[in-house]
């Protein structure tokens, strides 16, 4: 019989533990059948500690349980119960994740989508969460990022005065936006706008009289 994705993760975790010489948790598959209640309680405690530290997707919790050697049937039963009472909710997690990362890291939708996928969020739930973000939101965030990251004053004047250094600055700022998921066209337009505004504010030959 083929291994389930959970069992593959669990086996890889056990192999890592063996290679590192790390002792396995007592709540592993070696636990006897008459200790089933203890295994469930241990799994519940693992999930509660994870959720107390920060919100988690179901997939993240599955990975943690697999890493701790919890048998798949126990892990699924415990997580199903947490879902039933609303303590594990991937839709709510995705909504909060998108809102938080957009506010704190100014990530664009492609980057947020990748992060949600890495956390095991269903693509449909991910798209619903990403509907919070609009093109206008991303434009405003990109402008804010470039204005904060671009040099100012004399340093900016020196870089704008020389074509090569200006091009280098442009590439650096566009690359910064690209790493955060912004489309190349938007990134170039935003950088051009911000540098143009900065140039107009500079005294002397570069700026307005």
Per residue in 90-134, pLDDT (tens digit) is: 999 999 999 999 999 999 999 999 999 999 999 999 999 999 999
* Distance (Å, whole) CA 63 – CA 10: 8
Residue 33's alpha-carbon distances to 38, 74, 111, in angstroms, are 10, 12, 45
For 15-73, the three-class secondary structure string (H helix, E strand, C coil) is HHHHHHCCCCCCCCCCCCHHHHHHHHHHHHHHHHHHHHHCCCCHHHHHHHHHHCCCCHH
Per residue in 134-143, pLDDT (tens digit) is: 999 999 999 9
Query: pLDDT band for position 199 (50/70/90)?
Result: confident
Quick one: pLDDT at residue 162? 87
Per residue in 138-162, pLDDT (tens digit) is: 999 999 999 999 988 888 888 888 8
Q: Is the pTM of this model over 0.75?
A: yes
Residue 93's alpha-carbon distances to 79, 85, 118, in angstroms, are 15, 15, 13
* Distance (Å, whole) CA 43 – CA 69: 10
Largest CA distance in the chain: 86
* Distance (Å, whole) CA 45 – CA 83: 15
Give residue limits of the domains in the chain.
Answer: 91-132, 135-195
* Distance (Å, whole) CA 104 – CA 97: 11
Query: pLDDT band for position 17 (50/70/90)?
Result: confident
Looking at residues 75-81, what average pLDDT do you find? 97
């Amino acid at each position: 019989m083929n291994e389930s994705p959970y069992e593959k993760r669990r086996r890889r975790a056990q192999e890592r533990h063996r290679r590192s010489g790390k002792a396995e948790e007592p709540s592993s598959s070696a636990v006897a059948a008459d200790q089933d209640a203890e295994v469930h309680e241990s799994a519940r405690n693992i999930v509660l500690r994870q959720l107390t530290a920060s919100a988690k997707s179901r997939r993240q919790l599955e990975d943690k349980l697999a890493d701790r050697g919890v048998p798949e049937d126990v892990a699924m039963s415990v997580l199903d119960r947490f879902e039933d009472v609303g303590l594990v909710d991937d839709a709510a997690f995705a909504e909060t994740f998108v809102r938080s990362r957009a506010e704190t890291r100014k990530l664009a939708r492609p980057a947020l989508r990748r992060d949600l996928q890495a956390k095991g969020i269903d693509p449909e739930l991910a798209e619903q969460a990403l509907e919070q973000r609009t093109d206008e939101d991303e434009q405003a965030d990109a402008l804010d990022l470039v204005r904060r990251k671009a040099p100012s004053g004399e340093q900016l004047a020196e870089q704008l005065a020389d074509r090569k250094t200006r091009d280098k600055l442009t590439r650096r700022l566009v690359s910064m936006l690209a790493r955060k998921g912004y489309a190349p066209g938007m990134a170039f337009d935003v950088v051009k706008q911000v540098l143009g505004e900065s140039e107009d504010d500079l005294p002397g030959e570069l700026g307005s009289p």
